Chain A
């Protein structure tokens, strides 16, 4: 092994709103462990594919404020949210393999559209080390480097000065030929959930006709949505329709990514990456896997609607 291979790494200069994410911890939900992993799986998969990485390689998931310095020559790919990102003074295009020379700094300053960008490094992130530690096994927890905000599973917290070792690329990096705009659909598809039959038809109709606003309290655990219909509207609100038909006391059921919980106040919460493994609120529907990716990228205040599919 050459010296450069031994010391392939990047250094975090500023964490901003960033975490390390990979494919998470599948297979532990029966013990109460959330799956976790990248919140927008489509953008995560694209970043790794273009970087020439294995599809489960660890990347940086960032909502901005990130600065990293290459400690060797590296190739990076940025996908997901449309960002203001630079290497030195040069803007970084989305979905392109970009060379970053040893000593250069890459910044993801802020997001224009979307909530999460994915920075893959060719070779993948293989661990997180504090600046005062020597690299050993990377400190993965249950086989994953993902930061899970619900269980507080953080293999090693990111801080300025953290060193992230980089593995060997599995295959050569590539770029998407065309510039792909980051356009988010406002229409979310869902199928019937386990408690669908408990809701009165009036509630189900209102649910699909309501325009929902993404709440600023949304996070990696759940995307919270509130009814945005004006309260003086002559039509019955979803919350009012819900109140008319009591659902009674429910026993908790296992939750999955995309499950749409209805809270007693008529707010809804769509389960995403770090969702709890069981829950007691009624699950009206399940958002289609690809549409969960769309939903997690919606900025607070965005308006979305739901449509039932089979």
Chain B
């Protein structure tokens, strides 16, 4: 783990274990509050997170992050997200009727039923969000279902599509182009700008998919 300047108004912490940045976000926000420093946002990605701040607070925040990392190295359960495993997961009801279900089953040498039970049996966590508002990259997909993206992306993937690619699972919050394999659909509203909490899935959150007929 390293703390480095990312321009004058941002700092990046990289070299994190894959998928842990989302869980670390609240620790960083809490540490900033405790120290009385204002940060604009803490934005997680696959193996890093970025803190945005004013140029004036850069030194203070970088010092604070170095301290936090020291703590995480001493207590690895924080940095791996293991400490938060008691959170209540968000359950997403899925109808496994996706256009790529049979193709994925064939590619993974599994039956369609096995793909469904593997996907709906796993424990997921939001590693980070990106691509579109409310699009959450979920880690926890069983290794046997790890596949590359589709060779040619679709111009239109319907909102609510439950998909997998590149070792992640995700739900398309709105209709958009997309290169992931579609396993099913959900009627859950993944994004609503008028909600108090617009995104159903936030970084660090636990998620489970529940198969419905």
Residues of A with Cβ closer than 8 Å to B? 26-33, 141-142, 151, 153, 191-194, 251-254, 256, 258-259, 276-278, 286-289
A199 to chain B, nearest CB (A): 15
B112 to chain A, nearest CB (A): 31
Q: Name 30 A/B residue pairs within 8 A (Cβ), A-sorted.
A: A30-B25, A30-B44, A31-B133, A31-B199, A31-B202, A32-B129, A32-B130, A32-B131, A32-B133, A32-B134, A32-B135, A141-B193, A142-B193, A142-B198, A192-B5, A194-B4, A194-B14, A251-B45, A251-B46, A252-B46, A253-B14, A253-B45, A254-B12, A254-B49, A256-B10, A259-B7, A276-B131, A278-B45, A278-B128, A286-B8
- Interface flag for B9 (CB, 8 Å): yes
In the bound complex, CA of A216 to CA of B65 (Å): 40
Q: Which residues of B contact A153 (CB under 8 A)?
A: 133, 193
Q: Which of B35-43, B72-80, B103-111, B152-160 contacts A (4 or more CB under 8 A)?
A: B35-43
Docked-complex contact A278 and B40, CB < 8 angstroms:
no
In the bound complex, CA of A258 to CA of B52 (Å): 13
Q: Which residues of B contact A193 (CB under 8 A)?
A: 6-7
Known A-B contacts A31-B202, A254-B50; the reply to A278 vs B130 at CB < 8 A is: yes
3 closest Cβ contacts across the A-B interface?
A286-B7, A278-B130, A254-B50
Docked-complex contact B45 and A254, CB < 8 angstroms:
yes
Q: Which residues of B contact A33 (CB under 8 A)?
A: 133
In the bound complex, CA of A33 to CA of B46 (Å): 17
- Interface flag for B123 (CB, 8 Å): no
In the bound complex, CA of A251 to CA of B49 (Å): 12
Docked-complex contact B129 and A31, CB < 8 angstroms:
yes
Residues of B with Cβ closer than 8 Å to A? 4-10, 12, 14, 18, 25, 40-50, 52, 55, 128-135, 193, 198-199, 202-203
**Residue of A253, A276, A287 touching B12 (CB-CB under 8 A):** A253
A102 to chain B, nearest CB (A): 35
In terms of DSSP, what is the predominant structure of the interface of chain B?
loop
In the bound complex, CA of A16 to CA of B41 (Å): 34
Q: Which residues of A contact B12 (CB under 8 A)?
A: 194, 253-254
Docked-complex contact B198 and A252, CB < 8 angstroms:
no
Docked-complex contact A252 and B130, CB < 8 angstroms:
yes
**Residue of B4, B42, B193 touching A30 (CB-CB under 8 A):** B42
In the bound complex, CA of A30 to CA of B6 (Å): 17
In the bound complex, CA of A78 to CA of B184 (Å): 52
Known A-B contacts A26-B41, A141-B193, A194-B4; the reply to A256 vs B131 at CB < 8 A is: no
Q: Which residues of A contact B48 (CB under 8 A)?
A: 194, 251, 253-254
Q: Which residues of B contact A26 (CB under 8 A)?
A: 40-41
Q: Which residues of A contact B5 (CB under 8 A)?
A: 191-192
Extra contacts, 20 of them, besides A32-B129, A278-B128 (Cβ < 8 A), are A28-B133, A29-B52, A30-B44, A31-B129, A31-B202, A32-B130, A142-B198, A153-B133, A191-B8, A192-B5, A194-B12, A251-B48, A254-B44, A256-B6, A256-B50, A276-B130, A278-B45, A278-B131, A286-B7, A289-B7
In the bound complex, CA of A286 to CA of B58 (Å): 15
In the bound complex, CA of A278 to CA of B55 (Å): 21
B172 to chain A, nearest CB (A): 12
In the bound complex, CA of A30 to CA of B49 (Å): 10
Docked-complex contact A194 and B25, CB < 8 angstroms:
no
In the bound complex, CA of A206 to CA of B159 (Å): 44
Docked-complex contact B6 and A286, CB < 8 angstroms:
yes
Q: Which residues of B contact A32 (CB under 8 A)?
A: 129-135, 199
B13 to chain A, nearest CB (A): 10
The chain A residue sitting closest to B49, CB to CB, is A254
In the bound complex, CA of A205 to CA of B59 (Å): 29
In the bound complex, CA of A254 to CA of B132 (Å): 13
B192 to chain A, nearest CB (A): 11
